[in-house]
A and B are shown apart, each in its own frame.
Chain A
Amino acid sequence: MPRQKAPKRIFVKGNEAVAHGAIAAGCKCFFGYPITPQNDIPELLSKILPEAGGVFVQAESEVASANMLLGAGACGIRAMTSSSSPGISLMQEAISYMAGSELPAVIVNMSRGGPGLGDIGTSQGDYFQSVKGGGHGDYRVPVLAPATCQEAYDLVIDAFDLAFKYRNPVLVVGDAIVGNMKEPVIPRKVRKKSDKAASWCLSGAKNRKSRLLKSLHLEEGGLAVHNKNLQAKYKSMKTEVRQESFEVKDAQLVVVAYGSIGRIVKTAIRKLRTQGHKIGLVRPITLYPFPDRVLQTLAKQGKKFLTIENNLGQMVEDVRLAVCGLADSDFFGLLPGLTPSPDDFEKPILKSLKKSLKR
């Protein structure tokens, strides 16, 4: 039998994987401002994006980068920005406007510790900001949470497709670990889907009626209709839900964790499994839409839940909401400022398992 040729692999940091994913997705513009721990993304793109025929602009602030993104999105062009937590806070105004004006854009957040300047280490403190809107007004954005460098690469590509499918900003939320660890990544040729932007984007009103992209609706009842339409769109995004389920079939306790923490918890679960403990993992890959049906199904099977996050308890609220009336969820939060390891999670998992067996 002929030996199968191994696929071409690149050995890169998660941040670099994001940049390569953007190029593969056909990203034409990148606007960014320096902030740790994501600087590899703009640094790499400042070189490889112009080589790929695109445009790189270092903006004067995250406020400006997000608004440049808005301008490119209005033109129906694939564009991206990246930042980390404090910078993402500054972008919320433009994200709200993009949601209101229904403009596509990809925003990558390699999140760090907060509140305030926090630290430059890993954290999941931006969960609420990411999935509950983040800026002003009643809106949602799809949120994708990679746990590996490969996933960072793949999800950035998917983010562009989602942004144009729904004409909506899309967030990719990693963290300092995902951004800075180095792993082999298999690049892929992307068969670019049609963005179908020609029917709505701005290009100059030649041989057609002029177009207006806006979020202001002053006429009586206008904003009500607009919000109703937006809500219907957010509801339709439910079909995009994705998660990884690991060893849940016979599990007595299901741990819910996402991103790099989900991956570290998985290592802890593998070890505990060898000791005979029946533990499983659900790792949400889309944080919005949230995989609530999957959790409901598991709750109906009588499983108990433990949510583990790198914060003081944010996603746990969505887990509890998902299983409400069927089950509850314990919570273990690793505080930002501490570097997580599988050992950190064994004790809380066993404690929760013991408690659930008593119930």
Chain B
Amino acid sequence: MQVKEKQVFSIPDVIKDRPTHYCPGCHHGTAHRIVAECLAELGLVEKTICAASVGCSVLIYNYLDLDIVESPHGRAPAVATGIKRSRPDAFVFTYQGDGDLASIGLAEIMHCANRGERVSVIFVNNTVYGMTGGQMAPTTLLGQKTTTCPSGRCLENEGSPFKMAELIGTLGGTVFSARVAVNNVKNLKNAKKAVLKAFEIQEKGLGFSFVEILATCPTNWRMTPIQANERVAKEMIPCFPLGVFKDTTKKQEKP
């Protein structure tokens, strides 16, 4: 008997066919995949310009087949502003880690959002500086040990973690701000929905859209991939609750 094969699943062309430099169990690959699928499904690939950032994900240009410019550390939202203002018809997004966006680039992200720039920001929060070897990040959890807070982050000395999705949600120019995770199938599906929504908002010219993705860093957390994945639910989500913190499109849809 002949078995009929039906393809139910494929990798979008925008993902380059090559192994990544990311460590086993790292969520960057998953986050890249979500971004790529959303760009492909919305037909945005040929009009996209990406402002890459500094950190592990600077090498996003090795994995996504897009027009990409490298930004200095933290400055991707300013670079994206320059791109979108000079090419308003382009689809523009940044992809930034927590050190890049929430520490050195805090001014740039807040003002980009507040101006309501028609760009989308993908913010990958893994609570450490991954590329430089696991130093304390602005999103490091209280009590979490890193190479620069070896006895654990302490409120009195290092302050508390920045909750970016909530902060961005308070700004006038923000149309959509959400926090998602990719640690299980359910969360992953919601993550993709949020990214799709964020990209659609830009396409409609409504304003600034922001998606924070909680992610693992097994190497710098000194964990196995499975332990790291479990930590997302156990320790990160209680501190960084998932959800939509601002969505002005809902109001507009109401009669």
Contacts and interface: CB of A to CB of B under 8 A. Distances in A.
Interface in A200-242: 202-207, 210-216
A164 to B, nearest CB: 14
Interface in B42-79: 45-49, 51-52, 58, 61, 65-72, 75, 78-79
A64 B69 contact: no
Contacts of A163: none
Contact of A72 (B68, B75, B82, B107): B82
Interface stretch (B86-94, B163-171, B232-240): B86-94
B6 to A, nearest CB: 31
Interface stretch (A40-48, A93-101, A252-260, A314-322): A93-101
Considering residues A28, A65, A68, A93, which has the most beta carbons from chain B within 10 angstroms of its beta carbon? A68
A293 B2 CA distance: 83
A203 B87 contact: yes
A69 interface: yes
A204 B107 contact: no
A70 B67 contact: no
Given A75-B82, A204-B91, 11 more contacts: A68-B82, A71-B81, A71-B84, A72-B82, A77-B86, A202-B67, A202-B90, A204-B47, A205-B67, A206-B46, A213-B68
Given A75-B87, A214-B70, A204 B78 contact: no
Contact of A212 (B48, B61, B107): B61
A342 B70 CA distance: 48
B86 A71 contact: yes
B111 interface: yes
Interface in A165-208: 202-207
A67 B70 contact: no
B85 interface: yes
A204 B90 contact: yes
B203 interface: no
Considering residues A69, A205, A207, which has the most beta carbons from chain B within 10 angstroms of its beta carbon? A205
B213 interface: no
A93 B72 CA distance: 7
Interface of B: 45-49, 51-52, 58, 61, 65-72, 75, 78-87, 90-91, 107-108, 110-111, 115
15 contacts: A28-B86, A59-B78, A61-B107, A68-B78, A71-B78, A79-B82, A93-B75, A101-B70, A204-B46, A204-B67, A205-B66, A210-B66, A212-B67, A212-B68, A214-B52
B69 A214 contact: yes
A67 B108 contact: yes
A138 interface: no
Contacts of B61: 212, 214
B86 A63 contact: no
Given A55-B86, A72-B83, A75-B87, A205 B71 contact: no
A55 B151 CA distance: 50
A64 B58 CA distance: 19
Given A60-B111, A212-B61, A67 B86 contact: no
A115 B131 CA distance: 35
B58 A68 contact: no
Contact of B69 (A55, A69, A79, A101): A101
A216 B83 CA distance: 20
A216 B58 CA distance: 9
Contacts of A55: 85-86
A272 interface: no
Contacts of A141: none
A203 B79 contact: no
Contacts of A65: 78
Considering residues A28, A57, A202, which has the most beta carbons from chain B within 10 angstroms of its beta carbon? A202
A261 interface: no
Nearest to A101: B70
Contacts of B48: 204-205
A63 B91 CA distance: 24
